[in-house]
A and B are shown apart, each in its own frame.
Chain A
Amino acid sequence: MIIDIGFIGYFLLLLGLMNCLFLLTPKFVSGLNLSNNILLSASKLHFPILFISFICLIVTFVGEDYSLDYVSKNSNSNLPLIYKISAAWAGHEGSMLLWCVVSSFWMFLASKYSNDLPKSLRTNFLTIMGILNLGFLLFVVATSNPFARNLSVPIDGGDLNPLLQDFGLIVHPPMLYMGYVGLSVVFSFAVACCFEKEFKKEWAQWLRPWVLASWSFLTLGISLGSWWAYYELGWGGWWFWDPVENASFMPWLMSTALIHSVIASGEKGMFKSWTILLSIFTFSLSLLGTFLVRSGILISVHSFASDPSRGIFILLMLAMLIGGGLAAYTMNSKKFVDDNDVNIYSKEGFFLLNNILLVTATFTILLGTMYPLVLDILGLEKISVGVPYYNAVFIPLMIPLILLVGYVPMLLSRISKNKQILQLLIIFLVSLVLSLLFSINSILYIVGFFSAVWIIINIFFDLFLYTKNSVRLKSRMGMYFAHFGLAIFILGASVSENTKVEKELVLSLGETTTIGSFDYKLNKLEEEKSVNYDAVIASVLVSKNNSIVAEIKPEKRLYHSSESAMTEAGIFARLDRDLYVSLGNMIDDNKWSLRIYDKPFIRFIWIGTIFMIIGSILSIRYRKKTNE
């Protein structure tokens, strides 16, 4: 007899549900005097149960078990093995199961590393995490069961959306989910603190690495998503202010604010109630993001699933969790008393300004995302909110923030005020002159270039002149890396956006064209048959001053099972510029429309995010060492 893996997977899901209920008994079933050990072991056990269930799902994909509806819709026998595996989380059902697995993993960690917390806080904290896990799992079992059976078993499956047959999209969702769901730890802890009516310094310090870790994953996830869009969608954009991107960007901005305020709470016992509120809001925004993406109520490039019953379920959960969290907060917010007052001219004062700007920026994006929807529901004229709006509203908010970021090193080094003013003025003028020298084609460019230079000079100025003390250096390294990453990102974004050369044109075989400082020749057109698609591969020779620099091979693929055409851009990437070619449509037998882009410094966008993540990891490590 063949073992039915799909059944085992489903059984484990149900077992997970039971486990969650079991986890909640010590808190909610009074009179039995149940031991807290139930809570601790159940919260650890949840992860292995769901993980194995998820492995079962992968096994059904690899084993081509088309009796499962989800498998038959998202995979077929011609798919390469790696995509069969990744198809397990490419569709709605599987990705929601992945969400649950990730959530159970965070609960596992939370349970493992919370020994030092007071007992009642820990109990409440883990119980809330248990409730969240129960909710997510219930959602999967009730509305999105990946192990549901087909009524009749098809001979072969459908297809994995060709857009998703790509490395970027294999790793993007798990990373993003790690970030989203990591924030549930922060949320649960904050709500648990509300029940304790206290938010002690040590607790804030305990919370800090969790915020940083979630933030790092979010950054990585968003960055991967943007990189994927850049090379896969075929028009060279890396950020569209698309509702789905906004859904991930809002919790990112909010958690960036939280990273700062939680430091103040941890070191000086300040902003207690504000940090708690931010924690609740941050996770609420990740839930809202999930709702917006999963319910299909927004038109967007990435929206895959839509089904009102699922939407209602998520909405209900959203309302209960956020409503519950906020209720717990409002009932107890008066009890949080700060240990110290804040001086505006101090690190904490800067954090406050930082928080005001970042929260406003988040609000702006929320408004831009929700406003068209609200108008539509009210029956008013439908509008689009896109790049021009966000440029107009978001960038002005970022300018003061960046001025602050640049100022921070000097503030921390406690140089006398007179000296500071002089030095700041010098750095300001140097940055300004530099940016005017390099960037003279638009205001946005000057502002962007200036911002990057301003931050970088300030950091290095401080590194060379003042921060020689190694303890001090260590304590700031994370911050410097992250802020430097921000500067690199801004540099990449503003240089590439403002000096890019973009051309759409038609080339015949053998024809040469000059774009920017390079010559492009359509050298060859080849046809290639792969297992699950046919491709036309063009070879474009790039030369400068008659010497060949690169051969770029953009592809146009036609996938067999879905009959959909996909563009695979060809990119010649160097540190200082990308040459980007994508195939458009065939005009004639040997004549194709092409998009050729020359994008200087675009790599810096993603390099910047890597620096940010390194900074965040350094901060986590540093905090750990001082605790030991």
Chain B
Amino acid sequence: MKKITLFLFLLLSLNIYASDADSQYKELIEELRCMVCQNQNLAESEAPLAVDMKQKIREMLESGKSKNEIKQFLSDRYSSYILYEPPINKQNLILWIAPFIFIIILSFMLLRRYIK
């Protein structure tokens, strides 16, 4: 019951917060990898390439491109290595579903063994 209430609240709040261009920009540069750095995102990096990319992203957002279009644009050129959120595709299926399978198996094993 508690969880359901919480969930309902979550759903409600989902609709309230539509994001504007500036926050979209911030979200984007935090989700994209700086290709020349060691594990930094674009927001953190001041490498010249990162600065160029941020500029490009800003321009694309201003010209009305959506977040997903921009991500697609960049990963077409720089490979999905640039995305900190791995795309859900055949290759990454295990990455996304294994946690669920794991928790089910583990619960099954432990609960069956210990709860009488």
A and B touch in the complex (CB under 8 A): yes
A interface list, Cβ under 8 A from B? 233, 235, 237, 240, 242-243, 270-271, 274, 299-301, 303, 338, 341-344, 349, 352, 355-357, 359-360, 363-364, 367-368, 371, 375, 380-389, 392-393, 397, 400, 403, 424, 428, 432, 436, 440-443, 446-447, 450, 502, 584-585, 593
User: Who on chain B is nearest to A386 by CB?
Assistant: B84
CA distance A360 to B109 in the complex (A): 13
Is B4's CB within 8 Å of the partner chain A? no
CA distance A359 to B99 in the complex (A): 10
Q: Mark B47-74, 1 if CB is under 8 A from A, else 0.
A: 0000000000000000000000000000
A384, A584, A585: the one contacting B84 at CB < 8 Å is: A384
- Kindly list 18 other residue pairs between chains A and B, CB separation below 8 angstroms, not including A341-B116, A349-B115: A233-B44, A270-B114, A341-B115, A342-B116, A356-B107, A360-B99, A371-B95, A383-B80, A385-B95, A386-B33, A386-B84, A388-B84, A389-B95, A397-B99, A403-B2, A428-B2, A443-B17, A447-B10
CA distance A367 to B30 in the complex (A): 22
Q: Interface centre among B39, B79, B84, by most A CB within 10 Å?
A: B39
Q: Are the C-beta atoms of A356 and B110 separated by less than 8 Å?
A: yes
Q: Are the C-beta atoms of A585 and B46 separated by less than 8 Å?
A: yes
Q: Mark B1-15, 1 if CB is under 8 A from A, else 0.
A: 011011001100110
Q: Are the C-beta atoms of A237 and B103 separated by less than 8 Å?
A: no
Residues on B with C-beta less than 8 A from A375 are 91
Q: Are the C-beta atoms of B80 and A443 separated by less than 8 Å?
A: no
Q: Which 6 A-B residue pairs are closest in the complex by CB-CB distance? A: A386-B84, A388-B85, A235-B44, A341-B116, A360-B103, A342-B114
B17, B31, B40, B95: the one contacting A441 at CB < 8 Å is: B17
Per DSSP, chain B at the interface is helix
Interface size class of B (residues with CB under 8 A): 35 or more
B9, B26, B115: the one contacting A446 at CB < 8 Å is: B9
Residues on B with C-beta less than 8 A from A338 are 114
Residues on A with C-beta less than 8 A from B6 are 432, 450
8 Å CB interface, B101-116 against A: 102-103, 106-107, 110-111, 114-116
Name the distance in Å between B3's Cβ and chain A's nearest Cβ.
Answer: 8
A301, A357, A359, A392: the one contacting B39 at CB < 8 Å is: A301
CA distance A584 to B94 in the complex (A): 40
Residues on A with C-beta less than 8 A from B33 are 384, 386
Q: Are the C-beta atoms of A352 and B115 separated by less than 8 Å?
A: yes
Supposing A385-B86, A388-B84 touch, asked if A240 and B39 sit within 8 A by C-beta, the answer is yes
Name the distance in Å between A281's Cβ and chain B's nearest Cβ.
Answer: 12
Residues on B with C-beta less than 8 A from A388 are 31, 84-85
Q: Are the C-beta atoms of A393 and B85 separated by less than 8 Å?
A: no
User: Who on chain B is nearest to A236 by CB?
Assistant: B44
Residues on A with C-beta less than 8 A from B83 are 383-384
Name the distance in Å between B10's Cβ and chain A's nearest Cβ.
Answer: 6
Q: Are the C-beta atoms of A386 and B31 separated by less than 8 Å?
A: yes
Supposing A356-B107, A363-B102, A386-B31 touch, asked if A243 and B44 sit within 8 A by C-beta, the answer is no
Residues on A with C-beta less than 8 A from B96 are 393
Q: Are the C-beta atoms of A235 and B43 separated by less than 8 Å?
A: yes
Cross-chain pairs A/B with CB under 8 angstroms, 26 sampled: A237-B44, A240-B39, A299-B38, A301-B40, A338-B114, A341-B116, A342-B114, A343-B115, A352-B114, A356-B103, A356-B106, A363-B99, A363-B102, A364-B99, A367-B99, A380-B91, A381-B91, A382-B81, A384-B33, A385-B84, A386-B31, A386-B84, A393-B99, A397-B103, A446-B9, A447-B10
